[in-house]
Amino acid sequence: MTTPQPLLTSVTVGAYTLPNRVVMAPLTRNRAGEGNAPTAMNAVYYRQRATAGLIISEATQISPQGMGYPGTPGIYSAEQIAGWKQVTDAVHERGGRIFLQLWHVGRISHPSLQPNGELPVAPSAIAPDGMAATYDGMQPFVTPRALETEELPGLIAAYRQAAENAQAAGFDGVEVHSANGYLLDQFLQDGSNQRTDQYGGSIENRARLLFEVLDAVVDVWGGDRVGIRLSPSGTFNDMVDSDPQSLFTYVISRLNPYNLAYLHLIEPRTGEDSQNPAHDKAVMLTSEYFRTVYTGIILAASGYTQDTGNGAIAQNHADLVAFGRLYISNPDLVDRFAHNAPLNPYDRDTFYGGNEAGYIDYPTLTEQVA
């Protein structure tokens, strides 16, 4: 008898027993329809990938202020909820499970994307290096407006409402996006947070907003249907912290009592992107390290392949593995892993924006044989 691949074994994750440990990573594709609402095409895309143990939706802004890229979906209007209901129904028809990723980009935006052309908001008025993606092409980031202390309860309420809207849209759970240099990550790290109120200064203060948001979301869903995403080694979106190991060890140890569905860790890149200059500045904080800190389910993401994903689970560094680019071009990724079949190459030119091409037209194994 052939020993099953670790990736293809079942696992209990929060409220669910998943048939495999292959997770579709959250993938921004910039293909939302009018009013930033998902469309029938988006439903086809997610349905095609429903054999994943778990799908995590593309990052989805909790409010108009949370938007940072053209064509990204929201979860704050009736039209958006209805659009997402098409998606969740399609995934559930194939027996899949899907969590919605709750997102606020903070300073990684541009006035042209904000309500009434206002400045993006952030913990502090510090502009990130780099360029914003707008409907008129790439433009330099602006200096954001620092959020006032009295605004933060309203921000937390927006996360709560988004979590409730995700229930109305038929999701199986939600993931709080606190990674990749977006708003909650901006509050965590001292390169972007130089506040002097109770949300700045010490590690405990900088983590305050994240835990207040998490409390609100868990109150809606229960901890066993909530995940959280962190990037302890990340430098994307001009992120830096003076002591990331202490910061993220504190944050992740505090997550233990929540009994969350999972902790989603973006690890230092080990694949083809490991040579990019930002990688050289990254601190190597891996799932293997955080296994000694966190007692729950760990979902690892870091340019994994079939072989390295199986290895991570076999070595008990992770319980689940997220695949991003491989899922773009291989809607039947689980089936291909099961048969050790060749993978379709992905086309980077169609990652962001566009139509069906490079989105719902990648063939499955069955279609290729036929």
Catalytic residue list: 182
Radius of gyration over every alpha carbon of the chain, rounded to an integer in angstroms: 19
How far is it, in rounded angstroms, from Cα 357 to Cα 29? 12
Q: Dump the DSSP string for 216-255.
A: HHHHHH-GGGEEEEE-TT--TTT---S-HHHHHHHHHHHH
Instruction: Give the start-end residues of each E strand in the chain.
Output: 11-13, 16-18, 22-24, 54-61, 98-103, 121-122, 131-134, 137-140, 145-146, 173-177, 226-230, 262-266, 298-301, 320-323
CA distances from 335 to 16, 43, 45, 188, 270 (A): 21, 20, 17, 39, 25
Q: What is the dihedral of CA 184, 75, 264, 23, to 10 degrees?
A: -160
With a CB cutoff of 8 Å and minimum separation 6, the contacts of 296 are 255, 256, 259, 260, 262, 263
CA–CA gap between residue 77 and residue 33 (Å, rounded): 13
- The phi and psi torsions of 92 (rounded to 5 degrees) equal -70, -30
Angstrom CA distances, 256 to 150, 172, 240, stand at 29, 21, 25
The torsion angles phi and psi of 177, rounded to 5 degrees, stand at: -85, 105
